Chain A
Amino acid sequence: MYLKITAAITTLIAFVLGLAVLMNYAKFERAFSSLTESRLAFLVQDLRETLEFGLDLGLDPAAMANTASILAREAAKDPQILSILVFDDQGQVLHRHQREALIHPLRDLPPGWFETALRTHSTATPWRASDPDTLIVGATLTNNFGRVVGGIALRYDRSFHDRELAQALAGLTQAAGLILLAAALIALMSVWLLFRSARRDLNRVGVALTRFLEEADHPAFQPGRGSKLEAGYAAAEQSSREFRRRLRQAERILHLEQRLSNQGKADD
């Protein structure tokens, strides 16, 4: 009885904790991703301003000699930046900076990816995308006539981002588990305290009924004050005692009749 009620309360608390963990994790994921992406967007925006300064001077993006060093300088600001690419409006990569010490070679983005990015994303603000390995933050490059001449794509190591999120989820789950355990123990104790008088009544009646079943002449049960169960049992015991008495009486009549019958047969 205690365990079933405690199990129900624990299930309810587990449900509540599950929802709370889900919501907290979702909030954390949003806040963490938004912070990371806004930082990378700032980097990309800064890079765009630098490159567009050259474009404004009338330089061809492909021919801007210092682009590689600019990309290297920006990439050096964060070891999680895997590569920075500058591409033209046809999707041809013009400049590329890739981190050298990569454990796994970085997969190229699918053909046509850059053209699609230029076509579908806003020209005003940096845009975000992702693939299984990297977070991608990009921006379009426009010349001083407002024409799109290419874009920048910064690829960021997703594993760090995913590891942080996984750690947060694991931490939340562990904390929820501990809280659940504590809550279950408190619930068990409270249920035991709340229902102990019911259990006491049940035990008292159980003991009395066992004795009544085993010893026919056991003294009558005395119910405690205010216990409906005990009062009910006392009445039932009295009634059963009376029925047993009548059964014995009837048995005696039967025996007597049988004896009379046997005696009659013997007399014959």
Chain B
Amino acid sequence: MTELRQARFVGLFIMTLILIMAVLIGISFYAAWAFERSLLPQLDQKMLTVGTAVNVKLERALRYGIPLGRLPGVADFFGGVLAANPDLAYLAVTGPNGVVLYQRGTLLPPAEQWGVASSLANPPPARRVGAAYDLALPLQDNQIMAGSLHVGADASFVTRQIRELLFDIAIVFIIAVLIALELLPLIVQQNLAAPMRRLETVLRRIGDGDLRYTLPASYDEVGRLAGLLNRLVVGLNTAYQQLIHQALLLRTAIPASVARLDTGLAQLRQGFTLAPNGQPKPYFSAHLIGARMATFLFVFAAELSQPFMPLYIRTYAMALGDPPSQWLIGLPLTVFTLTAALFMPIAGWRFERAGSWRTFIEGAVLLMMGLAGTGLAFNFFDLLGWRALTAVGYAFLYTACQGYIIANAPEQRRAEGGALFVSGLMAGSICGPAIGGILADRIGYTATFSCAAALALGAGLMAMNLLGGSTLTALSTPPAKRPQHGVIRDLTTNFRFTWLMLFAAIPAKLLLNGFLFFLVPLTLYELGNSRSEIGRVVMLYGLAALFLGPTLARLADRFAIHGLLIGAGGLLTGVGLIPMLFFPNTFTVLAGVLCLGLGQAMSISPQLALVTRICRPQIARFGPGPVLGFYRLIERLGGASGPLIMAGLAGLLGYPSTMTAAGVLGVMTATLFSVGFLIMGVDPEPNDQPMPPVTPEAY
């Protein structure tokens, strides 16, 4: 996009954010007004019910002849009633002259504001007194007004309900911003930026004498201009073809004119390139933003079930044993990660053969079937099958999107293309859990899985629409001929690589999958959190990783502190999990998730950079693909073991102690990693060669 178009896009984005904020404020104000109208009569009725019951007891005492001012234990009795009815603020008794005799609770009005009750038969509604609604009921002693009973409720009861929603509304805003960041570039790109760029490119080519291209037709302003331009290009090519045809006829009829005709036609063509056979081709360009949106959608679909997946699995595992074994709850999570890890190479092979479009469609269909099947599973065993199918779809989609972006990004903008893929992936993994939790709370598990399947279908349709017309859908440059065997042997004998895998890469993924995907949902649920709240906590991991990851990666590159950041990130992750045994509450879990997000943001990108540095001989020999492929496979296998290891520990120790144990494991491995690399150093010999470029991986 040109600067002007970027400025327009920024303007559009800001306008959208303002609109989103305005509509959220608008609907919240309406809700506050509507809640007040509906809830206040209910609150009034509650106050009347409690007041009437208390009144009966006080009047019974008065009938026994005890004066109102000398009733024993009234304040304690009020305390008991208030404790059982937390939506009430206070109870008080005033004498006939309005003097307070007994009172208990909060928000009590000042002495001069207490009113006097009128009639119990037809009591007036509660009136606003200070910070409370006050309902005054008469206390009668033998038909004589002995005083008033006051029942108070917090006047901010309704606004408190709305205030409690503020956190949810803020989450919706964040998600809307992330979706806007995905959607708006796509729409602007598809409807304006890309067609305009194509238009400008074809105009520039015509200006340079290249008359080989037309533009794809559409029904908007750009499309109309494209139609006119196509008329021009087609007209010029046709006129040229007619001329050539006439010249051919003439050459046959008058052989003497051949030289003159050739000279004339050569002069005509000079500086111009015409379409072969006079038929210009439509000019297409790759749709990287479309691939990013498709990535966002499929990750959104896959992650929608993340905050409640262990809880969902537990309902099936109950049929095999009540309470179910923790292993059974962890098993489907492991099956998913393991299947995805093992199918990545197969998906890569499919991508090479069939291209990104077909691989993506196949992946979307598999993901859709897997998610729908998960939601409708009959028992634990077919649930395992559906999770495996979902993982295969995930692997296909992951590979297709990543491959499409790498294959279509210009050579000098490969890293930018990679970042585009990672940002789509991260945005999906933030929005998915947050929305999934809310949906599961409101519409249930099966309907949420149906929504996820619909999203997968949406991703497939988007890919059909956007990725199909690309100039390039599979890697065009075949990999250079290199030896294929011996890479594993070579890498395992690289001591630094083995050390990095054992004490940084595997523990990082193990903790991520074991803690975030298994322990967090189960622990938070046990602590009384709803699925929406679990989703919000899980989402914080993605937020921390998305916003801090790129900055920390840049810092690591700038100051060459990859090893330091990996060690510090591992330590932070571990330290964040340890307090759970001592303070088992939601806040500690939340702090653990944030530390995990920060720790992973610190260590994931530097890990990749460190692999390329310490495996330089292997990369030179086998190429970066097999080396990084092996690294990622081992890392993912570590991730697959996470839920099972945590499940084993949780069965023995319970969730809080398991979190602490995971934290201790994190601290130990990070310490061993740091000590090992402090002793060995990063480079076996002085480093004077540049590192090969690599594509970033999601956190």
Contact = CB atoms under 8 A, between A and B. Distances in A.
Chains A and B come from one and the same complex? yes
A38 B192 CA distance: 57
A36 B179 contact: no
B442 interface: yes
A194 B8 contact: yes
Nearest to A203: B221
Interface in A47-103: 77-78
19 contacts: A1-B192, A1-B220, A13-B20, A28-B31, A31-B39, A34-B87, A35-B87, A38-B85, A42-B46, A175-B30, A198-B8, A213-B235, A236-B206, A244-B236, A250-B243, A254-B246, A254-B261, A254-B264, A257-B261
B614 interface: no
Interface string A250-268: 1101100110110010000
A179 B27 contact: yes
B176 A12 contact: yes
A32 B435 CA distance: 24
Interface stretch (B47-55, B129-137, B382-390, B595-603): B47-55
Given A12-B180, A235-B204, A253 B28 contact: no
Given A1-B220, A232-B200, A36 B42 contact: yes
A27 B159 CA distance: 12
B211 interface: yes
A129 interface: no
Interface in A169-226: 171-172, 175-176, 179-180, 183, 186-187, 190-191, 194-195, 198-199, 202-203, 205-206, 209-210, 212-213, 226
Nearest to A190: B15
A106 interface: no
B260 interface: yes
A191 B183 contact: no
Interface of A: 1, 4-5, 8-9, 11-13, 15-17, 19-24, 26-28, 31-32, 34-36, 38-39, 42-43, 45-46, 77-78, 164, 167-168, 171-172, 175-176, 179-180, 183, 186-187, 190-191, 194-195, 198-199, 202-203, 205-206, 209-210, 212-213, 226, 228-229, 232-233, 235-236, 238-240, 243-244, 246-247, 249-251, 253-254, 257-258, 260-261, 264
Interface stretch (B92-100, B250-258, B362-370): B250-258
B268 A228 contact: no
Interface stretch (B165-173, B580-588, B631-639, B676-684): B165-173
Summarize B's interface: helix, strand, loop or mixed.
helix
Closest 7 CB pairs of A and B: A235-B207, A232-B203, A236-B206, A8-B187, A24-B31, A175-B30, A253-B264
Interface string B1-42: 010110010011001100110111011101100110011001
A221 to B, nearest CB: 11
Q: How large is the interface on B (under 10, 10 to 19, 20 to 34, 35 or more residues)?
A: 35 or more
Nearest to B200: A232
Given A172-B34, A202-B225, A20 B28 contact: yes
B628 interface: no
Given A5-B191, A39-B49, A239 B28 contact: no
B19 A9 contact: yes
Contacts of B192: 1, 5, 195, 198
B199 interface: yes
Given A42-B50, A228-B200, A172 B207 contact: no
B217 interface: no
Contact of B16 (A12, A27, A202, A246): A12
Nearest to B206: A236
B23 A13 contact: yes
A17 B23 contact: yes
Contacts of B187: 4-5, 8
B166 to A, nearest CB: 11
B593 to A, nearest CB: 22
Given A28-B31, A202-B225, A16 B23 contact: yes
Given A12-B176, A16-B172, A38 B87 contact: yes
A23 B235 contact: no
B176 A247 contact: no
Nearest to B43: A35
Given A26-B442, A206-B221, 5 more contacts: A4-B220, A13-B19, A39-B46, A198-B5, A206-B228
A46 B647 CA distance: 47
B645 interface: no
Contact of A194 (B11, B203, B225): B11
B75 interface: no
Contact of A261 (B164, B173, B254, B268): B254
B176 A249 contact: no
Interface string B228-251: 110110011001100100110010
A137 to B, nearest CB: 12
B268 A26 contact: no
B49 A240 contact: no
Contacts of A228: 2, 200
B23 A180 contact: yes
Contacts of A195: 8, 192
A16 B250 contact: no
Contacts of B12: 5, 190-191, 194
